[in-house]
Structure formats: structure tokens, C-alpha cells
Amino acid sequence: MLMELPKKYSEASNSFFLVYLQVIILLSYCNLQGLNMFCLATKSPVIRGSVTDQLALLQFKAKITGDQLKIMESWNSSSHFCQWRGVACDRKHQRVTKLEQQFLKLSGSLSPYIGNLSFLKGLNLANNNFYNQIPQEFGRLRRLETLELSNNSLTGEIPSNLSACSMLTFVHMRSNQLKGEIPASLGLLSNLIHLRFYNNSLTGSIPPSLGNLSSLKELHLALNGLTGNIPETLVRLTNLSFFSIGGNAIFGIVPVGMFNLSSIRVFDIGVNKIQGTLHSDLEITMPYVEFFSVRENQISGQIPISISNASNLNVLDFAVNRLSGNMPSLEKLDKLYKLFVSKNRLGHGKEGDLNFLCTLVNSTKLEYLYIRKNNFGGVFPDCVSNFSSTIMFLAVGWNKILGRIPDGIEN
């Protein structure tokens, strides 16, 4: 055990002692690892910060248990740590600003010493096999802007103290094995632009505090075990262009304001337990939306006429709900690629139910058209013969369609 420094030591003496202590620790570590005892040697004088950074990198290396590509072999005393593969430093201070080790087949746990890289702005460890928990010490990275940990095997909870990393703009942790709730404290990250937690095992509800993230453009929480309602506060995210909560167990109704997020390009609330009633006169103001899905919920009512104004739509999916009434005209959707309305209660079982099909003739990119298991009646319209030759899948079974199949369908 180290003895306590006498009180007579000045602050400067304390600082010198700490630098000296760090050098001794690092030299001891190098010796234990069988490295050159002079692994700290550089062309410039050793300063406290660079010693701290080098120790943190060596501790990161020590936690690597699998290195198929032999990446860590380059991390040795033959070169300054700023020249090690995947490490970038600023020129002035020679401090680590980026640690990028993505797609390198590394395995091991994450060292808490990473939290000592106080100049770090970018950390990218995606597409490896890191496991165990994300260290709480990551919350000490006050300059961190990008945190990319996707496609690993990380477990445990999302550290709530990441909220202290106030410069964060990108937080990507998709495709891991994270559990627990999404920390409400993340709503303090006012600079956040992308938040990706999809394909984990997260539970609890979506924190209403995320509605404070005024710069947020992407919120991707799909394929988890989330429950609760869609918070009303999310309607404040006017810069949001990507919203996906599909594949959870979210219930309640969709706040009406969500349909008026005018920057949205992807809107996916499919495969949940969402209820509520849509009305034919509901205003959907999403001029740039390309992907719109509410599939596999418990939504009733009618498909809003205003959806036809979304002229950039590629995918429109209302399948597996409780919708009824007429299908609106879709003539403006000339970029439509997939249309799914199967397994609803659409139509009235009589002539005229299928008139909307003739409004799709100008959709020259249409490949998938699924209207099966509804209440559509009447004769199958001849206009189907004029569909683009790009159409590949046409599913119309389990309806009340009469008459004969038009000859022109051979086209």
C-alpha cells in the first residue's frame, strides 16, 4: 500500500508524484507483458497525459482475448502509440482523439481504462466480438462525439452516465445483447443526431425525455422488448427523418402529431400492439416519406386519403390490422415499389371495391401488390393488364372477387 504524501508537499509536488507513479505502473505493465522496458520512450519528453493514454491503450490490448488478424501485434514499443493501427492523435498534445477498431475480428471485454482517454472524440469498435458490460467509465469521456459499438455481443445495461458525454452526436449500439431500460438521462444529450439501439433485449418504455433531443434525426429502437406508449413528447422532434420502433410490444395510440413530422423519410411502427382509429380525413403531412409501415397492429378505421400525397413512397404497409372501408386513390404514388394491405376488412364485398387498382397503373416500379384476406368484391378490373411488367407478386385471394381473370394479365 502506498503511503499518504505528507501534507507539506505542494500541489506541484503532488502532480510530479502522480506522473512518476503512472510511469512506474506503466513500466511494470510493460515488463509483465514481456515488452521492452523502455516502451515509454518517445522523441519528445513524456508528459502525464500521453502516459495516461498509452497506459489506457495497453490496458485495452490486455483485455483482447482473440485477435485473428494479429492487429494488436503492431501495438508495441517499436513505434509511438499514435502510430498504432486504429489510433489517431492530435498533433499539438499527442493525445488520443480516435480509437477505431471496426471489422477486425477482435474479441474480449472492454477495458474501463478507455475512460482515461480524456481527449477521445471517436470510439468505433463495431463488428467485432466484444462481450460483457459497457464500462461505466465511458461516462468520463467528456469530449466524445461518436460512440459506435454495433454488432458485438455486449451485455448488461446502457450506462446511464453517458449523459455526461455532452458532445455526443452518434450513439450506435445495435445488434448486441443489451438489457434493461433506455436511460431517461439520455434526454440530456442535446447534440445527439443518431440514436440506434435496435436488435437488443431492451425493456421498459420509451423515455419521454427523448423528446428534448431537438437535433435528433434518427431514432431506431426496433426489435427489442419495449412496452408502454409512444410518448407525446416525440412530436417535438421536428428534425426526425428516421423513426423505427417496429418489432416491440408497444401499445396505446399514435400521437396525431407524429403524422405531421414533415422531415420523416422512414416511419415504422409495425409489429406492435398499437391501437386507435384512423380516419379517412386524417391529415398525414409527410412529403418526403419513402417507407411507411403500421403492419401487424390493432389499428381500426380507414386508410387516410392524405396518404396519397406522399409522392415519394416506395413502401406502403397497412397489412394485418382491422382497417375497413374504401381504399383511397393512389395515383400520385408513381414511385411505389411495395403495397401491402392484406389481412384487414377493406372493401364492401361489392362492385367498385377494386377501382383503386386502376390508380396504380402509373406506378412503374410496382413489384409487390398484396390485397388478400379482405372484403374486396366485384369484378377484377381490366386495368390490371396495364400494370408495369416489373410487377412480380400479385396476391388477391380470400376476397369476394367475381368474374374472370382479365386476358391481359399475361402481360
User: What is the per-residue pLDDT across 314-323, written as a single tens digit (0 to 9) for each?
Assistant: 999 999 999 9
> What span, in angstroms and rounded, lies between the C-alpha atoms of 381 and 224?
42
Type of residue at 21? L
Tell me what pLDDT residue 10 has.
41
Q: What is the mean pLDDT of residues 236-257?
A: 98
pLDDT band at residue 219 under the 50/70/90 scheme: very high
Pairing of strands 194-196, 170-172: parallel
Q: Is residue 25 part of a domain?
A: no
| Residue 112 Ramachandran class (φ > 0 left, ψ -120 to 50 alpha, else beta) | alpha
Would the pLDDT of 13 be above 70?
Answer: no
Q: Is residue 189 part of a domain?
A: yes
Q: Is residue 99 part of a domain?
A: yes
> What span, in angstroms and rounded, lies between the C-alpha atoms of 267 and 123?
29
Q: Is residue 359 part of a domain?
A: yes
Tell me what pLDDT residue 8 has.
38
Q: What is the mean pLDDT of residues 137-150?
A: 98
Q: Is residue 258 part of a domain?
A: yes
Pairing of strands 273-274, 251-252: parallel
Q: What is the mean pLDDT of residues 25-39?
A: 44
> What span, in angstroms and rounded, lies between the C-alpha atoms of 254 and 322?
15
pLDDT band at residue 196 under the 50/70/90 scheme: very high
Residue 407 vs residue 264, higher pLDDT: 264
> Residues with Cβ < 8 Å from 206, sequence gap 6 or more?
182, 221, 226, 228, 229, 230, 231, 234, 245, 250
Tell me what pLDDT residue 363 has.
87
pLDDT band at residue 20 under the 50/70/90 scheme: very low
- Please provide the distance, in angstroms rounded to a whole number, between the alpha carbons at the two ends of the chain: 86
State percent of the chain over pLDDT 90: 82
Residue 157, C-alpha cell as written in the block: 445495461
Would the pLDDT of 2 be above 70?
Answer: no
Residue 315: strand pairing partners: 291, 338
Q: Residue 369, Cβ neighbours under 10 Å: how many?
A: 23
pLDDT band at residue 255 under the 50/70/90 scheme: very high
Would the pLDDT of 27 be above 60?
Answer: no
Would the pLDDT of 190 be above 60?
Answer: yes
Into how many domains does the chain fold?
Answer: 1
- Average the pLDDT over each of 106-110, 126-130, 226-230, 385-389 and give the range with the smallest value: 385-389
Would the pLDDT of 26 be above 80?
Answer: no
Mean pLDDT of the chain: 90
Tell me what pLDDT residue 141 has.
98
Range of the domain at 162: 87-410
Tell me what pLDDT residue 16 has.
37
pLDDT band at residue 48 under the 50/70/90 scheme: low
CATH of the domain at 111: 3.80.10.10
Q: Is residue 73 part of a domain?
A: no
Q: Is residue 176 part of a domain?
A: yes
Q: Does the reported pTM lie above 0.85?
A: yes
Q: Is residue 54 part of a domain?
A: no
Tell me what pLDDT residue 50 has.
86
